[in-house]
Amino acid sequence: MKSRWAGLIIPVAIVVVLALMPTFVNNYWLRIATGALMWAGLACSWNMLGGYAGYINFGQSAFFGLGAYTTALLMGDPINLPFFVTIPAGIAVTAICAVVVGGPTLRLRGAYFAIATWAFAEALTQFANVMNFTGGIGGLNLPPFLNERFFYYTMVGAAVLTYLITWALFEHSRFGLKVKALRDHEAAAEAMGINTSLVKLQTFVLSAVTASVFGAIFAYWVTFINPKSVFGGDITDQMVVMVLLGGLGSLRGPAIGGVGLFVINRLIWMHWGDTAFYIAILGAAIVLVVLFLPDGIAGLFTRRSTKSGTVLDKAVGKLVGGGEGGRG
Amino acid sequence: MASTSSPQSGSAPENRASDAILAVRDLYRHFGGIKAANGVTLEVGRREIAGLIGPNGSGKSTLFSLVAGTVKPDSGQISFDGHEIAGMNAHRIARLGLARTFQIPAMFDNMTVTENLLAAAAQGHWHGAKERAAETLALLKLEPVAENRASDLSGGQQKLLEFGRVVMRQASLILLDEVTAGVHPNIRKIILEAIARLRERGISFLIIEHDMEMVRNVCDRIIVMDAGRVVTSGAFEDIVRNSEVMQTYLGRPQ
């Protein structure tokens, strides 16, 4: 069982570094670390459905925003609930919406689901823009709580929990086998008794509520939200790109992509004061990864096949061809 | 129709209803103008190995999809192990104890060979699945590639794995769609031995096969399909003696 303990070294080291981080970095870098953890968690949430089940969600920002708005509304006047009470409320709202959106569309081919999620996020943005109770375009303020360590450790807790759940559920359980089976061949999975529609919906709901938790923490952290800052399509784009670069359908892929891209983004912003340059780097990186590293950066660390039928093939196959696409 | 020929006609009810694990009656399914199932009636007895033969396009694979629930019938009845399953979802039929292979191997490409086997047991038959996966790997001589990704296997190995997943399912009826087509004779031998062993355990089979040698050696009874119907059924020797069938199937008069 030597190898089993060896496998624990990296996770334990990560947790120790995360726990001690506030003692050796200043508040500026602590904020960057908090943001990096949030993006690693969001990328992981997108990867649950996109990477493990092969269903591309173009509207994940909807659930991030639902968590953020639920917390903002419940913490603000006249309700004034404490922060940690608002998180389960956001989870409940998000789960209901995910069932309503995913229930009918996950039975169809991937393209219908992708369009439905994208449209749902757009609809929520417009809804938040025009309604009074959401503060319209002006958005909502939350009671300020200026304690960087609190938000850092809250984000550590959420991110570690997200990765633990993903590890246990998708990498080490029957449920994970069912999810990956339906990604690779839906008809064969059905022929083995797997209720693929149900498993997809369960995965989608888990993915959505995870994003909503990060939305709730984000809202309280930045103390001000508006429709663009929490429902914006660029939030989903970031998650997709982080997972693609890091590695679809793996545990470390979203962590590498999420932390790596967010830190690069901040460094570019620090040196040039603008992130237009970041978009150009991102574009080039995506092209290179799709062409040469279909398993993402995480694929560099594992012995993987170069043949057709990668996770990327499966996800794209579901999107454009539906059925059992991906075998070239 | 061959209703007057000596092998019993497929459209007439067979006197084995009581011990049949699968009974298909008047099954219709049209795709546009193509009558893929045009009134199929057949039965598979318990512990029987029934061979399904017929020319390309005669509706054999469509019949599998209809029985397994992948395709829904326009009309007709399918009774499996006492349950009426026509129109039922594929996963529910599978949970009743039906397993099938696909004509083109339907691998879980990004999972290892072992994971492919475990996934087949993930719904329902999980107890002891790891031990059964190890047994199945040994039975099918797939141990050397147990940790390889399924997409990296050769065509013959993929056929074996496709068969191995069916073995993992602990089914009462197994539908095999050309499971030995194009595989090396050694691999074919492994599959045939495994079928014999499973039959001893009381499992029934319906087998689509083009290789007449295999049909002769393995099957208790042959069912011949043409143009979406069962033309006739009977013992291999009776079928071969029937010149009409041989014309249909092999395109040559005897």
In chain A, the domains with their CATH numbers are 30-321 (1.10.3470)
ipTM entry: 0.88
Q: Does the CB of B100 have a partner CB in chain A at under 8 Å?
A: yes
Residues whose CB falls within 8 Å of the CB of residue A79, separated by 6 or more in sequence, listed in order? A73
Task: Give the DSSP per-residue string, A2-35.
Answer: HHHHHHHHHHHHHHHHHHHHHHHS-HHHHHHHHH
Residue of A nearest to B71 (CA): A187
Q: Do A183 and B110 touch (CB under 8 A)?
A: yes
| pLDDT value of position A303 | 60
Top-level class of domain B17-250: alpha beta
| Mean confidence (pLDDT) of chain A | 91
Q: Which helix (H) or strand (E) holds A225?
A: strand A224-225
Provide the token pair at B222: 């042959």
Of chain B, the percentage scoring pLDDT greater than 70 comes to 88
The closest alpha carbon to A107, from A175, A28, A186, belongs to A186
Structure confidence at residue A1 as a pLDDT band (50, 70, 90) = very low
Q: Does the CB of A183 have a partner CB in chain B at under 8 Å?
A: yes
pLDDT at A326 > cutoff 60: no
Tens-digit pLDDT profile for residues A30-55 = 999 999 999 999 999 999 999 999 99
Q: B149 - beta bridge partners?
A: B112
Q: Do B102 and A196 touch (CB under 8 A)?
A: no
Q: Do A187 and B69 touch (CB under 8 A)?
A: no
CA B120/CA A213 separation, integer angstroms: 34
CA B106/CA A328 separation, integer angstroms: 14
CA B208/CA A89 separation, integer angstroms: 55
B122 neighbourhood in chain A, CB within 8 Å: 174-175, 177-178, 181, 192, 194
Residue of B nearest to A248 (CA): B110
Tens-digit pLDDT profile for residues B89-100 = 999 999 999 999
Residues whose CB falls within 8 Å of the CB of residue B213, separated by 6 or more in sequence, listed in order? none
Q: Do B99 and A191 touch (CB under 8 A)?
A: yes
Q: Do B70 and A187 touch (CB under 8 A)?
A: yes
Structure confidence at residue A83 as a pLDDT band (50, 70, 90) = very high
Structure confidence at residue B251 as a pLDDT band (50, 70, 90) = low
Structure confidence at residue B166 as a pLDDT band (50, 70, 90) = very high
Q: Do A185 and B89 touch (CB under 8 A)?
A: no
CA A48/CA A168 separation, integer angstroms: 12
Q: Which helix (H) or strand (E) holds A224?
A: strand A224-225
Q: Do A305 and B152 touch (CB under 8 A)?
A: yes
Tens-digit pLDDT profile for residues A123-143 = 999 999 999 999 999 999 999
- Which residue reads 């659930």 in tokens? A63
SS3 sequence, chain B? Answer: CCCCCCCCCCCCCCCCHHHEEEEEEEEEEEECCEEEEEEEEEEEECCCEEEEECCCCCCHHHHHHHHHCCCCCCEEEEEECCEECCCCCHHHHHHCCEEECCCCCCCCCCCEHHHHHHHHHCCCCCCCHHHHHHHHHHHCCCHHHCCCEHHHCCHHHHHHHHHHHHHHCCCCEEEEECCCCCCCHHHHHHHHHHHHHHHHCCCEEEEECCCHHHHHHHCCEEEEEECCEEEEEECHHHHHHCHHHHHHHHCCCC
Q: Do B90 and A190 touch (CB under 8 A)?
A: yes
pLDDT at B6 > cutoff 50: no
Q: Which residue among B95, B110, B115 places its CB closest to the CB of A193?
A: B95
| pLDDT value of position B241 | 81
How many CB atoms neighbour CB A144 within 10 A?
A: 10
A188 neighbourhood in chain B, CB within 8 Å: 102, 106-108, 165
pLDDT at A278 > cutoff 90: no
What is the arithmetic mean of pLDDT over A209-234? 96
Residues whose CB falls within 8 Å of the CB of residue A291, separated by 6 or more in sequence, listed in order? none
| pLDDT value of position B16 | 44
Q: Does the CB of A187 have a partner CB in chain B at under 8 Å?
A: yes
Instruction: Give the residue, A308 or A287, on which the prediction is more confident.
Output: A287
Q: Do A191 and B68 touch (CB under 8 A)?
A: yes
What is the arithmetic mean of pLDDT over A298-308? 68
pLDDT at A284 > cutoff 60: yes
Instruction: Give the residue, A277 or A102, on which the prediction is more confident.
Output: A102
What is the arithmetic mean of pLDDT over A298-303? 76
Q: Do A194 and B107 touch (CB under 8 A)?
A: no
| pLDDT value of position B254 | 41
| pLDDT value of position A248 | 92
Assess contact for B77 and B39: CB atoms under 8 A: no
CA B110/CA B131 separation, integer angstroms: 22
What is the arithmetic mean of pLDDT over A245-259? 94
B94 neighbourhood in chain A, CB within 8 Å: 190-193
Residues whose CB falls within 8 Å of the CB of residue B214, separated by 6 or more in sequence, listed in order? B180, B188, B192
A177, A197, A308: which to substitute to probe chain B, counting the most B Cβ within 10 Å?
A177
Q: Does the CB of A182 have a partner CB in chain B at under 8 Å?
A: no
| pLDDT value of position B14 | 43
B102 neighbourhood in chain A, CB within 8 Å: 187-188, 191
| pLDDT value of position B18 | 55
Assess contact for A158 and A44: CB atoms under 8 A: no
What does the buried/exposed string (b/e) look like for A153-166 if buried means 16 or more CB atoms within 10 Å of the residue's CB? Answer: bbbbebbbebbeeb
Tens-digit pLDDT profile for residues A136-192 = 999 999 999 989 999 999 999 999 999 999 999 999 999 999 999 999 999 999 999
A193 neighbourhood in chain B, CB within 8 Å: 91, 94-95, 123-124, 169
Please give the single-letter amino acid code of residue A9: I
Q: Do A307 and B151 touch (CB under 8 A)?
A: yes
Q: Does the CB of A318 have a partner CB in chain B at under 8 Å?
A: no
| pLDDT value of position B253 | 45
Assess contact for B88 and B78: CB atoms under 8 A: no
Torsion of CA A166, A168, A174, A180, to 10 degrees: 30
What is the arithmetic mean of pLDDT over B86-114? 94
Residue of B nearest to A312 (CA): B110
Residues whose CB falls within 8 Å of the CB of residue A280, separated by 6 or more in sequence, listed in order? none
Residues whose CB falls within 8 Å of the CB of residue A283, separated by 6 or more in sequence, listed in order? none
The closest alpha carbon to B52, from B209, B203, B173, belongs to B209
| pLDDT value of position B13 | 43
Q: Which residue among B99, B106, B151 places its CB closest to the CB of A187?
A: B106
